[in-house]
Amino acid sequence: MTEVFDSLRKEIEAESLDSADAVDSFRIRYLSKKQGKITDLMKGIKDVSPGERGTYGQGVNELKTLANAKIKDAKTKLGSSASDQRDIDLSLPGRAPKMGSLHPITQTRHLINRVFESYGFTVEEGPEIEDDWHNFSALNFPADHPARDMQDTFFIEPTDLEHGGIMLRTHTSPVQIRTMKDGEPPFRIIAPGRVYRNESISYKSYCLFHQVEGLFVDEGVTMADLKQILHAFAQTIFGDDVQMRFRPSFFPFTEPSAEVDIWWNDESLPGGGRWLEILGCGMVHPNVLEAVDIDSEKYTGYAFGMGIDRIAMLRYGIDDIRILFENDERFLDQFA
């Protein structure tokens, strides 16, 4: 019995199906219901002893599969060379669904959030309209102090009222105040959000922008820890070999305060590049901790803040901040 199967297999394998006619006659010779050789074998199963029928059926099926595969292969080969027989044009474009996109500010915010969340920071958010206490006083901006000129403020209610004025927040630091006021240390948060500055609109400044501020308050937090986390951050955003420097600066709510620059390569400049400021930071001023009833002897902390828009502009090479708010699709589509 096996010899019959073997010889038929060899016969089938030896067939050359180089034309549609050959395929057709092959199909008739082996598989047609009336005279096909495999069909005949199939019909013969009734003469096989019941004990051998399983092996026999299996053998016939293998031959059938082989013959069918041969036909399919041959048809595929013939189809691709004979264009007149093609019934599908695979070169037609697909029906692509339209792509949307996330705004580059959002993408950058997500990236920054992700970096700090991976270091155990929780994201907190707060209102854009704030009172004087949360935006300034609790952050150690004394009334009638020139430090207030550092942030040109949009006022909603004048400063001579009892609450000291209602304004659009000039930074997301009020979120730190709200978080610390409502909880107990340790605090390890970042606060992303929209902030407002009353500045004339140009390629480098807009009346609003987006900021991420960070805060870590616990026992034993030092400026060395601050340098470490920001270095890790800068490496993630700007590459492992980022060169950065911390230089002394002033913010009322931190002391010591620093501005952080990264080295920006630019062959067109005399020194081959320049220092670019990317963020401000420092150790949380004890006056701020005390304003929210935290023991400034026991706890220390660091805080930092950066402009999401600015980081986005650096990352993507955008040279005019206004284009971020114009939302031209030719711009948006580049971030899909």
Partner 1 sequence: MKISANWLRDYVDHGLSIEELSDRLTMAGLEVEDVEQIGPRLDGIIVGEVLEVNPHPNADRLTLCSVNVGDGEPLSIVCGASNVAAGQKVPVATIGTILHLPSRTDDDALERIEIKKSKIRGEVSHGMICAENELGLSEDHTGIMVLDEGAIAGTSLEDYVSDKNVPLADTVIDIAITPNRPDAISHIGVARDVAAITGKELKSPSISISLDCKESTADFSVQIDAPAGCPTYAAILVKGVEIKESPVWMQQRLSAIGLRPRNNVVDITNYVMYEVGQPLHAFDFELLAGAKIIVRETSTETKFTTLDDVERELPIGTLMIADRDRDVAIAGVMGGQNSEVTADTKNVLIESAYFNPAQIRRTAKALQLQTEASYRFERGIDPTAQLRAAARAAELMAKFAGGEIDGCVNANPAPYEPRFATLRPERVSHVLGLVVPEDRIQSLLTSIGFNISSENGALKCEIPSFRPDVEREIDMIEEVARLVGYDAIPEPSRSAIPNHPVSISPQRQLREQVSNLLSSLGFKEVVTNSMLSREVAESFCDPILPGARFGGEVVDTLNPVSREMATLRPSVLPGVIRVAAHNLNRGRLSLKYFEFGNSQMRVHTEHSILENYTERECLLILSSGQHDLPGWDTSARVEDIFDLKGIAEVVLDSVHLPDVRFVPIYEASKVSTHHIDIYSGHERLGVLGQLTDSVTSAFDLRGDIFFLEVDWSSISEFSAPFLKKHYDAFSRHPVVDRDIAVTVSRSEAVGPMVKSIRDAGGELLVNVSVFDLYAGDQIDASLKSVAFAMTFAADRTLRDEEVDEEVTQIISSLEKNHGAKLRQ
**Residues 34-73 contacting partner 1, CB under 8 A:** none
Residue 21, CA distances (Å) to 43, 79, 87, 288 in order: 26, 13, 18, 91
Q: Which of residues 223-282 bind partner 1 (CB under 8 A)?
A: 223-225, 227-229, 231, 245-250, 255-259
Q: Residue 294 Cβ, how far from partner 1 at the closest point, in Å?
A: 14
Using CB under 8 A, which of the segments 12-20, 30-38, 74-82, 221-229 binds partner 1?
A: 221-229
Q: Residue 49 Cβ, how far from partner 1 at the closest point, in Å?
A: 41
Q: Residue 165 Cβ, how far from partner 1 at the closest point, in Å?
A: 9
> Which residue, 62 or 290, is less far from partner 1 as judged by CB?
290
- Neighbouring C-alpha atoms within 13 Å toward the C-beta of 95: 0
> Which residue, 69 or 336, is less far from partner 1 as judged by CB?
336
SS3 246: strand
Assigned token pair, 124: 């907190």
**Which residues lie closer than 8 Å to 156 by C-beta, 6 or more apart?**
129, 165, 166, 167, 168
Q: Residue 125 Cβ, how far from partner 1 at the closest point, in Å?
A: 7
Q: Which of 208, 242, 292, 314 binds partner 1 (CB under 8 A)?
A: 208
Assigned token pair, 20: 């549609």
- Neighbouring C-alpha atoms within 13 Å toward the C-beta of 217: 26
- Give the start-end residues of each E strand in 170-272: 187-196, 208-219, 244-251, 254-265
Secondary structure element (H or E) that encloses residue 166, with its range: strand 166-168
Question: Total number of residues binding partner 1 (CB under 8 A)?
Answer: 84
Q: Which of 146, 240, 267, 293 binds partner 1 (CB under 8 A)?
A: 146
Q: Which of 1, 32, 54, 127 binds partner 1 (CB under 8 A)?
A: 127
- DSSP letters, 129-162, are EEEHHHHTGGGT--TT-GGGGGS---EEE-TTST
Assigned token pair, 74: 């041959």
> Which residue, 78 or 292, is less far from partner 1 as judged by CB?
292
> Which residue, 48 or 232, is less far from partner 1 as judged by CB?
232
- Neighbouring C-alpha atoms within 13 Å toward the C-beta of 303: 29
Q: Which of 26, 213, 300, 307 binds partner 1 (CB under 8 A)?
A: 300
Q: Which of 1, 28, 150, 161 binds partner 1 (CB under 8 A)?
A: 150
> Which residue, 7 or 122, is less far from partner 1 as judged by CB?
122
Q: Residue 79 Cβ, how far from partner 1 at the closest point, in Å?
A: 21
Q: Which of 123, 242, 276, 323 binds partner 1 (CB under 8 A)?
A: 123
Assigned token pair, 194: 């929209």
**Which residues lie closer than 8 Å to 260 by C-beta, 6 or more apart?**
230, 234, 244, 245, 246, 277, 278, 279, 280, 281, 304
Q: Residue 41 Cβ, how far from partner 1 at the closest point, in Å?
A: 38
Residue 324 CB coordination number (10 Å):
20
Q: Which of 79, 181, 218, 314 binds partner 1 (CB under 8 A)?
A: 218
Compute the distance between CA of residue 216 and CA of residue 238 in angstroms, rounded to an integer: 23
> Which residue, 50 or 93, is less far from partner 1 as judged by CB?
93
> Which residue, 45 or 129, is less far from partner 1 as judged by CB?
129
Q: Which of residues 86-115 bind partner 1 (CB under 8 A)?
A: 92-93, 95, 97-103, 105-106, 110
- Neighbouring C-alpha atoms within 13 Å toward the C-beta of 38: 24
Q: Which of residues 156-195 bind partner 1 (CB under 8 A)?
A: 156-158, 166, 168, 186, 188, 194
> Which residue, 75 or 103, is less far from partner 1 as judged by CB?
103
